[in-house]
Structures are given as structure tokens and as C-alpha cells.
Structure 1
Amino acid sequence: MIVKTSRPAARLAALVLPLAALAGMGTAAQADDWTPTSAIEFIAPANPGGGWDTLVRTTSRVIQEEGLADQNFAAINVPGGGGAVAWAQIARDTGNPHKLFATSPPIILVPLAGTSQYDHTNFTPIARLITDYSIVLVPRDSEYQDLNDLFDAIRENASLSVGGGSAPGSMDHISIAGVASAAGLEAADVNYIAFSGGGEAMTNLMGGHVEAVITGAGEAAGQLGPDSEVRALGVSAPERLGGPLADIPTYQEQGIDYTFDIWRGVMGTPDMPEEAVAYYEELFAQMLETDGWADARDQLGWIDAYQNSEEFGAFLDEQKEEFSEVLSELGLIR
């Protein structure tokens, strides 16, 4: 059966369909055209000097120098609880598109250890940016020449301590416990001392309050050199890094079959609007392509490891499963 359409009705349909399409395009355009209307609070959930702080200040500087955003990215330090204090504040700011924070494994490890009620599922993933590795540092005049020297000393004297800039059961603790276990110690034998950030950990190392410090290789890169007051015993990478870290042996080179990688990225407030997420993930993707970023990345010993919001969210879920198993094996889940 053939249905005839009157000419007026056909003309009306011809008008209605394009108008509907234009309306849809307008909505998409509004989402694509979203930009911040005020300065962005970019939070490092620790004191100055640590990995989060380095990421926040480096990315903010590159974005500004490369002219990638009209609004300023204001670096703000909110220390305490291995990140928990900052996360509690950010969690109360639901939907705010002008607040971001640097993140890394503690966003999963700290809640698993029972010291934060907020984990990655309470926030909005924006992008994973880089991978870094752990590095073990001692004072320049330390008697320990390599990792095995340090662990031998710990075997003989359980009171010897290793400091780190993350909470008990979090990233630095897991990293040093893991390499110690691979070296033949019990994970619990490591007397780990938690400080509020990498900067405080380094201050206590130089003050003689801990035997060694475990921290991010990238944040330590600027402190190493011929005239440095610290030496590195080893790095958790699968192979030697470049730049100022090229001479640091890996754990595996010292007969300890263990690696640990510290990814770092950016997250936003709970339920951040989709158009804001799209803006930020594209902004950080553009940043990674700039010469300014390449220079900073190489100087800090970082490795690009970009994931967009969706990919980063799935990655975080996988990390939670893996870390849950590790923490259970080490007896660090409360």
C-alpha cells in the first residue's frame, strides 16, 4: 500500500527534521565549548616537595607557559593523612568543575588500609599522565653501598627505620615492603616511618632520624648529582632510567627480582559535569605534546602514560583488585 503525503505535510517535515538536528548540534556545541570561568584550584594532597606537588606545579607551569588555558591553575597544598584530609575536603565539593587534584596509588591504598573513607570511586577520573618509579635514598656518607647492605643491617637491627612520604599501608610503604620481601625479609620487619610528604621525609633523612627514604624517582632527580647530600641505592624500574638517574642501578641488577611503578594522574570532584571532564582530558592530552612538557618530563625522569577519563577509570578499578591482593599477602589490610 502506498501512503500519499500531502505537500504541506512534507514541507513541514522537511523543516522539523533539520531544526531537531540543529538543536542536538547546539547541545553538543555547548558541551564542546565549555571552558573554565575562574581560576582552577589544583590540589596536591601533601606538603610541598613530594610527587603530587611536583606533578601539580609542573603541569600548571607548562599549561601556562604553552598558553593552553585562559584561566590560571593555582597550586594548593592540603597535607595530612597520606591524602585523606584533601580527599575529604574535595568530596564535599560535588560537581565543582574548577577543582582538580593530583593522584597516584595512595588513592586506592590508603582507603584499603582503612585510613580514609573516600577512594577513587568517590571522584571523577580525568586523565592518567605519567609513570614514575620508587627510589631508595641514603645520606651521602651512609655506610650502605647498595640495597643488600641496607637490608642486611635491618636483619640485624629491626629498629632501623625507612621513611616515606605516604601513610602506613600506602604507596611508599608497599613499595619498600615489597622489595624487602623480595630480598628475603618479612614485610613486617621493615620499620616504616610515615611522613606527610616527600619533603618532610627528606628533612628527616638529612637529620639522621631514619636510615633511608623511599620516594618517587622523579621527585628525587633534582636532588641527585656530584655535589648532592644524598645517594641512591636503587630504583624500582625494570631497566635503568635516563637523564640524571642513568647511573642508578635497578633492584633487579642487585639480585632482587622486584619492580614497582608509580603512575600519576589527575582527578576531579564527585559528579563533575561531562563537558568539564572532556575539556580537561583534552587539555592534558595537548599538554603532553608540547616541547615544554617534554623538557620537564625528561628532567624529572617521568615516562608518558596517558589515559583518557574512561580508560583511567577502568585502570583504577583494576589497580584496586591488584593492590587488595598485595596488601593481603603482606598483612597490611586492617
Structure 2
Amino acid sequence: MFRARPVAMAAALASVALLAAACGSGGGQEDGGGPWKPDRPIEIIAPAATGGGWDTLARTSGRVLEQGGLVDEPVQVVNKPGGGGSIGWAYVAQTPDTPTRLFVTSPPISLVPLMGGSVYDHEDFTPIARLATEYMVYLVPDDSPIGSWGEMADLLKEDPRQVSIAGGSSPGSMDHVGLAGAVNAAGIDPTSINYVPFDGGGEAMTQAVGGHVDAVVTGASEAAGLVESGDLRPLAVSGAERATTLPDTPTLQEEGVDFTFDIWRGVMGPPDMTEEQVAYYEGLFSDMTEEESWKKQTKGLGWTDSYMGSEEFGVFLDESSRDSADILTRIGLIEDGEGR
């Protein structure tokens, strides 16, 4: 019977121990038994093209984390556009042993899977923190003959297909639902509207400015720059109150439409993160929201602070998914009980 020599056996056991330690570190390190922290650059995935809300959140977060000295490693923002977010989610889900790879998120993490656009939903990832909330805005090019939300609604009632409205997410996702819910509340069949999807709010607004579509729906913060430059003209916002960045723009309720839609924004990580890894990021993003630079930049974007830690955010995501299924059913985009 073969027996390993003691020296060889000791070397083999040492190799196994080193391999186990490497696998367990998952891109982080514990100094002298201390808490886990990353030992390589942190990636924040924006599951859309540049210029949209996800991209803005990822880059704002990365900038504040680095400039505030809150991280020892650099923060890299990586854009993974496509599929209303599903390409980016798959990228994270397929590397579950990479806890240094996070992604920014919002309502599409519930909406897109319900519409069959992704095999992954919020339950496949680890909630880290909810950070902020904002509203949607409905806009037209500045030279558009459409003067108000009411005028656009009248045109849609006359013929829903005659007004093309762009959004930066796939059918059944955030921008589409924010539009469909509003027109449904205005007495228009939401399944008949001419919604034109693009990969991100930036691209959708570019199409509107270029005259390729008649209107656009996007997050209020995304549109602020093009409104200020005079390229786009806002008709209404989806909040219960006017957006701080668009104080002269009426709410849908002021326009006689009983509908509101919040865009929450947060951060999630890969599946199977350890408690230590979650605790590190939860504390990191909590500290980030206390930075004056974060408060200043988010105020300028029109975002409202709505921080939640990991556990509370997880409960919120479950509720948000149920609410998403309800609204998709009400506006006729899925049948009751459909979805993942």
C-alpha cells in the first residue's frame, strides 16, 4: 500500500490550507482576524449605457467613496447595457465568488423578470443598501407643438399610436410602467401606446432631442441638464410633490391624473455573500450617505435620502416585487399570477 512521505504530506496539507484560505477570502482580506475588507478594486456595475440613472448613481457613489477616503481600493464603474438591466445582472450572478463586484439597482430588478426579460430577479442577489428616491418626468423637445401633459393626453386619446414616446428601459420595465400607469390613470389604454425602448435614459433623451421620437419619459435627475440647456421641455413629474430640480413642472396630480411613481435606487451584490462582506458594504454606503459631497450632489440631482440597511432593504425588495406584479397586472402587461 502506498504511503505518502511525511514531508510530502505536510506540503500537500499546507497547499490545501492555502487554497481554502484563498477561496474563502473572496476578493478580500482579514487583517489579524479583523473584519473582512476588499483587497482588490471594487467594481460597481451600471446595467445600462452611460448617461442614465444607473450610470449616474454608480459614478456618483464611486466618486464620493474615493474622494471621501472611505475605501482603500479604487472604485471602478463598469457599464453593462442591454436587456433592461438583465445583461448586467447576469454578469454579477455568474461570478458569485466575487464580492468586490456590486451593481446599482432600481425598480427594473422586479419589473423585468416579471415580464420574462431576465432569468434573475432580486432573490438571486444580496441586498446591500437602498440609498435614495426620485421621480419620473415626461418631456418633449423644446420645439414640440405639444404644450402640456393634457395636450399629449388628448392626442393619445385621439390615436395612441400617433405619439411616439421613448424610454430608457425595456417594455414592462421602469420607464414603460411609469408611462403606462400615467396614461392608464388618464383613461387611455396603456397597451396601445407607442413606447420606444432604448438602453438607458441618456440614449432615449438623445433620440427625443434629435426629433426621432415625439416625447420621452425618464428619471427627473437624468433630464435636468437637457431641461436647463433648453433642449427638452418637461410636461409633468410623477411625484406627489414637485421635483426640487424642476420646481416649475406640475405633478400628474396637478394635471388631474391620480398616479404617482417613485424611483428608488440602491446597491446589491452577488449571491451568497458572507455576513462579514455584507456588513462591510452596509457600513461603507451608510458612511457615504453622511458625506457632505454626497448630500450636495444628490440634492442637485433631486434625489431624496431614503437609506435602508441590508435587512430592511431585503424586506422592501420583496414588497416592491409584489407591488410591481400588481401594477403590471392592472395595466394589462401581465396576467394575474404571471411572472417568475
Deviation at 1:45, TM superposition (A): 0.2
- Check the 8 A contact 2:45/2:103 in 1, yes or no: yes
Counterpart of 1:163, as a letter, is A
Task: Name the structure 1 match of 2:280.
Answer: 279
1:16-72 per-residue CA deviation (whole Å, 9 max, x = no partner) reads xxxxxxxxxxxx997862211010111000000111000000111111111111111
2:185 maps to 1:182? yes
Counterpart of 1:157, as a letter, is D
When structure 1 is superposed on structure 2, of 300-309 and 197-206 the one drifting more is 197-206
For 1:191 and 1:241, how far apart are their aligned partners in 2? 26
Task: Name the structure 1 match of 2:310.
Answer: 309
For 2:276 and 2:193, how far apart are their aligned partners in 1? 46
Counterpart of 1:285, as a letter, is S
TM-score (norm 2): 0.87
1:299-318 per-residue CA deviation (whole Å, 9 max, x = no partner) reads 10000100001011110001
Deviation at 1:149, TM superposition (A): 0.7
Q: Per the alignment, do residues 104 and 31 of structure 1 end up closer, same or farther by CA in structure 2, a change over 3 Å counting?
A: farther
Task: Name the structure 1 match of 2:233.
Answer: 231
1:212 pairs, out of 212, 215, 219, with: 215
Counterpart of 1:284, as a letter, is F
When structure 1 is superposed on structure 2, of 144-153 and 123-132 the one drifting more is 144-153
For 1:95 and 1:319, how far apart are their aligned partners in 2? 27
Task: Name the structure 2 match of 1:124.
Answer: 126
Deviation at 1:184, TM superposition (A): 1.1
Deviation at 1:145, TM superposition (A): 1.6
Matches within 5 A, 1:254-273: 254-273=255-274
TM-score (norm 1): 0.88
Runs of at least 5 residues in structure 1 that lack an aligned partner in the other structure: 1-27
- Check the 8 A contact 2:220/2:243 in 1, yes or no: no
Counterpart of 1:328, as a letter, is T
SS in 2 for 1:253: coil
Which of 1 and 2 has greater Rg? 1
Task: Name the structure 1 match of 2:79.
Answer: 77
How many residues align structurally? 305
Q: Per the alignment, do residues 172 and 32 of structure 1 end up closer, same or farther by CA in structure 2, a change over 3 Å counting?
A: farther
For 2:139 and 2:261, how far apart are their aligned partners in 1? 16
Runs (4 or more) in structure 1 with deviation over 4 Å come to 28-32
Task: Name the structure 2 match of 1:34.
Answer: 36
Runs of at least 5 residues in structure 2 that lack an aligned partner in the other structure: 1-29
SS in 2 for 1:192: strand
Counterpart of 1:94, as a letter, is P
For 1:30 and 1:86, how far apart are their aligned partners in 2? 35
1:201-256 per-residue CA deviation (whole Å, 9 max, x = no partner) reads 0111112221110000111122222x4211100111101122x3111111111111
